[in-house]
Amino acid sequence: MQFARDIRNDLPAGIVVFFVAVPLCLGIALASGAPLFAGLIAGIVGGIVVGALSGSPLGVSGPAAGLAVIVFQAIESLGSYQAFLLAVVLAGVLQIGLGFARAGVLGYFFPSAVIKGMLSGIGLLIILKQIPHAVGWDPDPVGDLAFQQSDGQTTITELFRAWEHIEPSALIVSLCALAILVVWERYLAPRGRIYQVIQGPLVAVTFGIVFQFVTSRLAPGLALSSEHLVNVPVAGSLSELGALFTFPDWAQLANPAIYAAAVTIAIVASLETLLCVEATDKLDPQKRATPANRELFAQGTGNMLSGLVGGLPITQVIVRSSANIQSGGRTKLSAIIHGSLLLLFALALPMVLNLIPLAVLAAILLMVGIKLAKPTLFASTYRLGPTQSVPFVVTILG
């Protein structure tokens, strides 16, 4: 009975997180200088393997934007992506060791004001980053959360460029998607169980797919071009599918630079995960506590497997986790569902994903950002005095 109650919430939440994760996986891979499919592999392993092993009820793992610069530099310094994959495998081994050494206790020392500031800062950054995609300006990858962007612009200058390159169809799609999300949450969800099971983001994505499918056939002038759509690699045969996977270069085991990269990845990924665990637990309506050492073990196992089959490093990710919570997720089943859907669509139905407008996903992420950066949170933190408000503001600005 409990499983039946959970699946009613976890299934739609898992579907929403899946749709959010697809462009993030691809965008982070692009920003990292890695093969696009590497991002999907990391998302699949993060959802299914880490989701199953983790004790976090609501955390969702996958490739992280915070590691993109480290990954890019490591690939360049090590000379090949295959050598980098070996560093990812070894980083996973180190994380497992950190879990057994009970290093997860470090997560308990993050101040509450810092956690709140991080969530609000990420929310503001998501909003600023998604506005260009919402109006149809997509040169910067969806998963890039860096202020200094991979296209040579900054987050602020990109906003001005976006207003000079508005794509009317993308703007129509994003505004309609935002309207669907707002109406669904404020007016329909309170009226009946069916509107809570079928989440607004799922309806918004369906609208986007239908819009693109219909306009491309009946009104090509309104249809969005490929650069404004999700772009999942499509394999035409089993041999092409096999070519999407990359494997570590074990001959590099004697290279000292591999171990330096592995230590860097392990430390940064572990700290990012522990910070996200604390933040996710604070967002959990049931206020459950995640066992941090078990999380390090799960993340390490995930990174070992991801590296072995060609994927990017994995951490628990606040954008996916918050989308999961806001979509009604109750247990870690939603994370596993999201990973399973990534696997299914990446291997069998990528052409369906390639009909999704980036503007729809931008609308969904805009709502996530707005909920993370609530004005009421700023006001309540200010009222607590400088001991709370100063770390809060410093974290946001950082």
AA letter at 351 = M
What is the rounded average pLDDT of the residues 342-371?
88
- Confidence class for position 1, pLDDT limits 50, 70, 90: low
For tokens 């206790």, name the residue: 105
Angle at 39 between CA 19 and CA 15, to 5 degrees: 20
pLDDT (0 to 100) of residue 63:
93
Max distance between CA atoms of the chain, in angstroms, equals 63
Residue 229, phi then psi, degrees to nearest 5? -120, 160
pLDDT (0 to 100) of residue 252:
96
Residue 111 has pLDDT above 90, yes or no: no
- Give the lowest-confidence range in 206-210, 240-244, 271-275: 240-244
- Confidence class for position 123, pLDDT limits 50, 70, 90: confident
Residues 341 and 18: beta-carbon distance below 8 Å = yes
Question: What are the beta bridge partners of residue 148?
Answer: 154
Pull the structure tokens for residue 55. Answer: 């004790």
pLDDT (0 to 100) of residue 387:
63
* CB proximity list for 202: less than 8 A, separation 6 or greater: 12, 15, 16, 19
Residue 54 has pLDDT above 90, yes or no: yes
Query: pLDDT tens for residues 81-93?
Result: 999 999 999 999 9
pLDDT (0 to 100) of residue 88:
98
Q: Rounded distance, CA 309 to CA 112, Å?
A: 38
pLDDT (0 to 100) of residue 226:
92
Radius of gyration of the chain (CA): 20
Pull the structure tokens for residue 344. Answer: 């299914």
| Whole-number Cα distances in Å, 118 to 176, 293, 391 | 30, 22, 10
Residue 384 has pLDDT above 80, yes or no: no
pLDDT (0 to 100) of residue 155:
85
Q: Rounded distance, CA 142 to CA 359, Å?
A: 10
What is the rounded average pLDDT of the residues 271-275?
90
Note if the pTM is more than 0.85: no
- Confidence class for position 391, pLDDT limits 50, 70, 90: low
Residue 97 has pLDDT above 90, yes or no: yes
Angle at which helix 68-78 crosses helix 2-32, to 10 degrees, equals 50
Residues 121 and 275: beta-carbon distance below 8 Å = no
Q: Rounded distance, CA 263 to CA 92, Å?
A: 10
If you write DSSP's letter for every residue of 211-238 in order, what string do you get?
HHHHHHHH-TTTSPPGGGB------SSH
Angle at 155 between CA 153 and CA 157, to 5 degrees: 55
Angle at 239 between CA 235 and CA 245, to 5 degrees: 75
Q: Is the dihedral of CA 335, 11, 129, 277 positive or negative?
A: negative
pLDDT (0 to 100) of residue 202:
84
Which comes out higher in pLDDT, residue 30 or 378?
A: 30
- Give the lowest-confidence range in 128-132, 193-197, 241-245: 193-197
Q: Rounded distance, CA 72 to CA 342, Å?
A: 24
Query: pLDDT tens for residues 177-233?
Result: 999 999 998 888 778 767 766 778 889 989 999 999 999 999 999 999 999 998 888
pLDDT (0 to 100) of residue 396:
60
Question: What are the beta bridge partners of residue 316?
Answer: 61
Angle at 85 between CA 55 and CA 24, to 5 degrees: 60
Pull the structure tokens for residue 371. Answer: 């909920």
